[in-house]
Structure 1
Amino acid sequence: MNKNLATLYHIAEQDTRVIIGLMSGTSLDGLDIALTKIQGSGSNTRLELLAFESLEYSSAFRDEIRSVFSKETVYTEMLCAMNAKIGIAHAELVNKTLKKWKLKPEQINLIASHGQTVFHAPLGSPPPEGFTNSTLQIGDGDHIAMNTRIITISDFRQKHVAAGGEGAPLVIYGDYLLFGHSTENRVLLNIGGISNLTFLPAGRQVAGVFATDVGSGNTLMNQYMQAALSKPFDKDGELAADGEVNVALLAALFKHPFFEKVSPKTTGPELFNLSYLEGAQLQSGTTDLGNADVMATLSMFTARCIADTILQLSENYGELSLYVSGGGYLNKTLMNNLKTLLPGVAIDNTSVLGMNPEAKEAVLFALLANETVAGSPIEFPETSGAPAVCFGKVSFPD
């Protein structure tokens, strides 16, 4: 047997695995690195978050990613080069973090790398004639494996698309295994660049479980702050708090077929971007709106995207508990908007469930890698939008 396959087989046979999860989202702010210890698999999974780091990209590196990110036209040479460069950069960040944690590569069984999404084209965004829905994440796994000397599992979303899914969201698999509850109807909400949620009905049964994108998260707010004020984001939602929600602009932002679709559904910055905002401002006659009022409206837009879906769930299932993760939970104005829109819903962040809300997505990719090597596909109902597959491509360090 090939020695790499023998090593992977040995890892799969172990009762406990040490896996690093890597996540870089559409906010393009940096790389989340989660060190996990995972025992068992499937319904017997026990996961412990041992350490977590969130490392910012340099502004130059962020600009290089933006040159190929969510655009109709890119230079293929640059796209090809960034596939390798992101992989190498992520490997360097992992190596730097391992030194900080005083760990050697041989103490890590696997790296689970989400990669950097550069384009997401779900079924709701009609592809060119003769093509199907698709998604693309770059940051080559072979470069990560070669530069860290750790077996790497990457490119998770392609299998989801190949099996008939939309490529997103993938959190349903980990959320179901880690956070289901016997008596509580739970909503696990992640507010990253895009907002997505997983609904877990009480009883830990797969029937009724589903995950869906609900609309914009931080992406429109961040893009506007960068374009208008040369700031990466609105810290604590301070600028939004100083403004007033413009009702006409808010209504125009919701005039898109995405909001008429039934969940589960998916979207991305290919839809929710500055062009989308500019179109809504033209339509509503609000092109002269001040920065604070624009940000207040965008914050309420994100909150409404989330609340509308949760209110529908509440109508069908009654009392819900909402647990929030992702960078958006740090935005005080956004969270206050959510609490105003959802007065009957208990809202907290995932720390009360024992999960660092900033680390959750990176952790869940570590869990997906664990299922790929040691578990088996989870059979969710067709209405969940979650095909029963194992995810990722395996890259060996030699």
Structure 2
Amino acid sequence: MNNQIKNLYQRADKQERLIIGLMSGTSMDGLDIALCTVRGYGVDTEIRVIEFCTASYDDAFRKQIKAVFSKKNANLDLVCLMNEHIANVHATFINDALETWGYKAADIDFIASHGQTIFHAPKSLHRLSGYPNGTLQIGDGDHIAFKTGIITLSDFRQKHLAAGGEGAPLAVYGDYLIFSKKGENRIMLNIGGIANFTYLPGNSNASAVFSTDVGPGNTLMDQYMQQNFGRFYDKDATISSSGNPNQKLLSALLGHGFFELDFPKTTGPELFNLNYLHQAQKQSSTEKINKEDVMATLCHFSADGIVNAIKKSVNKEKEFWVFMSGGGIHNPLLTDLLRKNLPRANFDTTAALGIQPDAKEAVLFAILANETLCGKKISFGKGVPSVFMGKISLPT
């Protein structure tokens, strides 16, 4: 047996595994790095975050990613080069984090790398006859494995596509395994660039579980802030709180057919971008309203998309719990709107369940890797392929 395969087997067979989960989302603010201890698999999974940090992207690196991000006519030369460059940068971040935390590469069993999404193209968005659902994440796993010396699982979304899914959202798998609770109907709401949630029924029936994107979270607000205010995001909702939502613009923003599609569904900045806003302003004759009012409207747009989707999912439930994560939880206007418009919901963050909200997405990829290495098939419901995900890269 090849020694690397033997090493893979021995580490997967351990009672407790040290797995690093990585996540870089559409906000492109940095790389979330979560070092987790994992025991068991499936519904018996026990996971604990022992270290967490976000390695921030500098402006130069973010600009390099944006050059190939969500562009139908991206430069293929740059796409090719960024596949390697992102992996090298992420590997450096990992090595630096391990040194800071006092670990050696040999201590870590696996890395679970999401990579950087640069384009998401479900059929509902591309509408090209004869073509399947598609998505592309770059940041090559072989480069990460070689430069860290740690077995790396990456490119998780392709198996989901191959099995008939849209490649997103993948949170449903980890959410079900570690957050389901008998007797509580739970919504695991992640507000990143795109907002998505997993519905976990209180009967713990895996076939009734689903996960779906619901529309923009932070992406439109962030894009507008960067273009018009020279800030990366609206810290503490200062700008959006100073404006008033414009109802004509809000109605135009909510008028897209995406919001009428059945669950589960996926989307991305390929749809929800500044051109989308421009078209809505043109349609509603609101091109001249002040920028603060636009920001207020965009915040209400994100909130309404989330609220309407959750109401469709729990319309028969008298009481339910919403556990939030992602960068959007730091937007007080957005979270206040959610609480106001979902009065039957009990709100908290995933910190109440033992997982830091900012670390949750990285942790979920550590769980996906653990299932691929150690798990057994779980039969989920419609739209949730029952597959193991992630390609395995060996260090040498």
TM-score, length-scaled by structure 2: 0.99
What SS does the aligned partner of 1:333 have? helix
What SS does the aligned partner of 2:96 have? helix
Structure 1: stretches of 5+ with no match in the other structure: none
| Cα distance between partner residues in 2 of 1:181 and 1:203 | 8
Deviations along 1:56-86, whole A, 9 cap, x unmatched? 1010100100000001101100000000000
Counterpart residue number, 1:394:
392
Counterpart residue number, 1:354:
354
Deviation, structure 1 residue 205 = 1.8
| Cα distance between partner residues in 1 of 2:11 and 2:372 | 11
Counterpart residue number, 1:29:
29
CA contact (8 A) 1:173 1:378 kept: no
CA contact (8 A) 2:83 2:140 kept: yes
Matched, 1:70 2:70: yes
Instruction: Give 2:196's aligned amino acid.
Output: N
| Cα distance between partner residues in 2 of 1:305 and 1:377 | 33
Counterpart residue number, 1:324:
324
Counterpart residue number, 1:161:
161
Counterpart residue number, 1:279:
279
CA contact (8 A) 1:12 1:373 kept: yes
Counterpart residue number, 1:59:
59
Instruction: Give 2:213's aligned amino acid.
Output: D
CA contact (8 A) 1:118 1:138 kept: yes
Matched, 1:151 2:151: yes
| Cα distance between partner residues in 1 of 2:15 and 2:107 | 15
CA contact (8 A) 1:98 1:104 kept: yes
Matched, 1:178 2:175: no
Counterpart residue number, 2:98:
98
Counterpart residue number, 1:366:
366
Deviation, structure 1 residue 289 = 1.6
Counterpart residue number, 2:270:
270
CA contact (8 A) 2:150 2:394 kept: yes
Matched, 1:88 2:88: yes
Deviation, structure 1 residue 318 = 2.8
After the TM superposition, which of the residue ranges 200-209 and 365-374 deviates more from structure 2? 200-209
Counterpart residue number, 1:338:
338
What SS does the aligned partner of 2:34 have? strand
Counterpart residue number, 1:305:
305
| Cα distance between partner residues in 1 of 2:317 and 2:8 | 43
Deviation, structure 1 residue 127 = 4.4
After the TM superposition, which of the residue ranges 372-381 and 193-202 deviates more from structure 2? 372-381
CA contact (8 A) 1:120 1:134 kept: yes
CA contact (8 A) 1:127 1:133 kept: no
Counterpart residue number, 2:191:
191
| Cα distance between partner residues in 2 of 1:107 and 1:174 | 24
Instruction: Give 2:36's aligned amino acid.
Output: T
Deviation, structure 1 residue 268 = 0.5
| Cα distance between partner residues in 2 of 1:381 and 1:46 | 23
CA contact (8 A) 1:253 1:277 kept: yes
Counterpart residue number, 1:233:
233
After the TM superposition, which of the residue ranges 197-206 and 355-364 deviates more from structure 2? 197-206
Matched, 1:119 2:157: no
CA contact (8 A) 2:207 2:379 kept: no
Structure 2: stretches of 5+ with no match in the other structure: none
Deviation, structure 1 residue 246 = 0.4
